[in-house]
Amino acid sequence: MTSMSKHKILVVDDEVLNVELMRAYLSNDYDVISAYNGKDALEKVKAEKPDMILLDVMMPEMDGYEVCRIIRHDYQMNFIPIIMVTALTSKDDHNRGIEAGADDFLKKPVGKFELDKKISSLLRIKLQHDNLLSDRNKAYDYMDYVGVLIAVLDKNYNLVHINKKGSDFLGYKKDRVLNTSWISSFVPENYAEHVEKTYDELMEGSIKVNEYHEYPLIIGSGEERHFMWYDSVLRDEEGNISNIVISGEDITERRKAEIQLQDYAHQLERSNELKDLFTDILRHDLLNPAGLIRSFTEILIEIEMDERKKHIINNINASTSKLIDLIEGAAHLAKLESMEEIGFVRVDLASLLQDSIENFALDIENKSIEMSTSFEGDYPAMANPMIERVFSNLLSNAVKYTSDESMVKVMIDDTGDKWKISFTDQGDGIPDKDKLAVFERFKRLHKDNIRGTGIGLAIVKRIVDLHNEQVGVIDNPDGKGSIFWLTLKKAQ
């Protein structure tokens, strides 16, 4: 595709209105091709070679799963991203799409914003894939010229010629291996019958020349090395096949790397499954009984008259509350880490911060803390509603770690196209070496007599990262303590 031409997108749907909607969304930026059934789609794929396919799932005669499967497994084509457009949203439906070879999914009705983002993302991936494929093909051409084993076999599959690189691969001098049986001398016994059958069919003309296949060789050291082979034939003056030319590339290390990559992918998938399972256990199997324990202890606190027993029950209740905070925080963090993108709305920072301060009024009063704020009027910003959790966590830390009868400041500063929100406490402060660590999971520097789970700042960091903004901590220049700050984009 030239730099001036448009990407070509094939839209497949048996509903004409759905196709026209996609055309209206895309025609300004892309060359849109349409197909109204599976058979038509397959013909368009071969004829037009689109850069991307938007594929409806529910179609008569041949559904989207079957179309996707044929494109992926039967057509010998370069990578074409396939987005399945469907009203089906179950996990089984998505699994069927993935097994068929789909790259992504869109739920009907399709919104233009989400459609544009998925198309642009997958087209970037396709461009990278095509560039890598081009680079690989260039590398293969070079290796075919100087870095592969090239040998000639006679009708009985005896070795009549081999290049220097080939003899180096085998670990023998050329005169040592010439006129020996290729199959019995170098092909492992369990592959010998298959290789001989392949060459028989090649000599008979029943399989195409240059057809790719793989089999290993046993080299001079006794090691088994895996090769990728391309075969062709030589003909005599009468046009009859007289010899087979074999070209082999040693892919042993690549095979090992592929196996390791497959193992790693399996381990990663298993790790993600265990993570999801652990999150479900946190949310359901642990949170419910912990909540019941707290409820019963609160009842016991009210009815118990013995002060010693009441003290013990209070300790149980406090520990249970801490456990619930930990479960809820860990589950929330796990959910945040699974997110890649979030939506934004217009919010008023002053109103959100004032609500957070009011939520901590009792704690502020109990510690005789003076609250100082420096915002009046409106401070419009673009943020996700979960930003309230950030304000709550940072204010909670400021109140928690500041000294009794001291001051906590909450400020909003104008930095041009962004707001900078800061929370200043008068606690013990944070050493420079630990300023980054406090945003890591389960890092909590001060543990004595402090109620907390150690993941609050990790949640803050993740939410701010999802906003593509910055968060940090510095020393309080006006005395002891710290200033936690973050930035948010202004709303226009």
DSSP secondary structure letters along 315-348: HHHHHHHHHHHHHHHHHHHHHHHH------EEEE
Mean pLDDT score, 430-456: 64
Confidence of residue 4 (pLDDT cuts 50, 70, 90): low
State residue 452's pLDDT score. Answer: 41
Which pLDDT belongs to residue 447?
45
Write the DSSP string, 265-293: HHHHHHHHHHHHHHHHIIIIIIHHHHHHH
Q: What percent of the chain has pLDDT over 90?
A: 38
What number is the average pLDDT over the span 14-29? 92
At 299-338, the pLDDT tens digits run 988 888 888 888 898 888 888 877 777 777 776 777 777 7
| Arithmetic mean of pLDDT over the chain | 84
For the cut 90, the answer to whether the pLDDT of residue 73 exceeds it is no
Q: Is residue 55 within 8 Å of residue 44, measured between CB atoms?
A: no
| Residue closest to 377 by CA, chosen among 345, 354, 395 | 354
Given a cut of 90, whether residue 449 has pLDDT beyond it is: no
Residue with the bigger pLDDT between 212 and 390: it is 390
* Contact in structure between 152 and 174 (CB atoms under 8 Å): no
Output the pLDDT for position 448: 43
What does the alpha-carbon distance between residue 153 and residue 202 come to, in Å, rounded to a whole number? 12
pLDDT over 60 at 3, yes or no:
no
Band the pLDDT of 445: cuts 50, 70, 90: very low
- Which range, of 55-64, 84-93, 357-366, averages the lowest pLDDT? 84-93
Question: Terminus-to-terminus CA distance in the chain, angstroms?
Answer: 38
Quote the CA–CA distance of 59 and 99 in Å, as a whole number. Answer: 18
The residue type of 46 is K
Rounded CA separation 350/19 (Å):
46
Confidence at residue 197, expressed as pLDDT on a 0 to 100 scale = 92
Listed residue (29, 31, 34, 28) closest to 11, CA to CA: 34
Other CB atoms within 10 Å distance of the CB of residue 347: 19
Mean pLDDT of 280-301: 76
> What pLDDT sits at residue 147?
65
What is the Cα–Cα distance from 340 to 332, expressed in whole angstroms?
Answer: 15
Q: What is the pLDDT of residue 361?
A: 92
- At CA 425, angle to CA 438 and CA 478, rounded to 5? 115
Residue that wins the pLDDT comparison between 53 and 340 = 53
- pLDDT interval class at 93 (50, 70, 90): confident
**pLDDT of 191 over the 70 cut:** yes
Per-residue pLDDT tens over the stretch 387-439: 999 999 899 989 988 889 999 999 999 999 999 999 999 988 888 888 888 88
Q: Flag whether the pTM goes above 0.85.
A: no
Give Cα separations from 137 to 98, 130, 144, 228, 302 (angstroms): 28, 10, 10, 15, 77
Provide the pLDDT for residue 265: 73
Instruction: Give the pLDDT confidence score for residue 412 in this predicted structure.
Output: 94
Q: What is the DSSP letter of 369?
A: P
pLDDT band at 474 (very low <50, low <70, confident <90, very high): very high
Least confident segment among 5-19, 247-261, 407-421: 247-261
Alpha-carbon Rg of the chain, whole angstroms?
Answer: 34
78 pLDDT above the threshold of 50: yes
Query: Over pLDDT 70: what percentage of the chain?
Result: 87
Name the nearest CA neighbour of 353 among 419, 416, 450.
Answer: 419
Sheet with strand 471-475: strands edge to edge: 370-373, 407-414, 418-424, 482-489, 471-475
Distance of CA 36 to the CA centre of its chain: 33
- pLDDT tens track for 149-177: 888 899 999 998 888 888 888 999 888 88
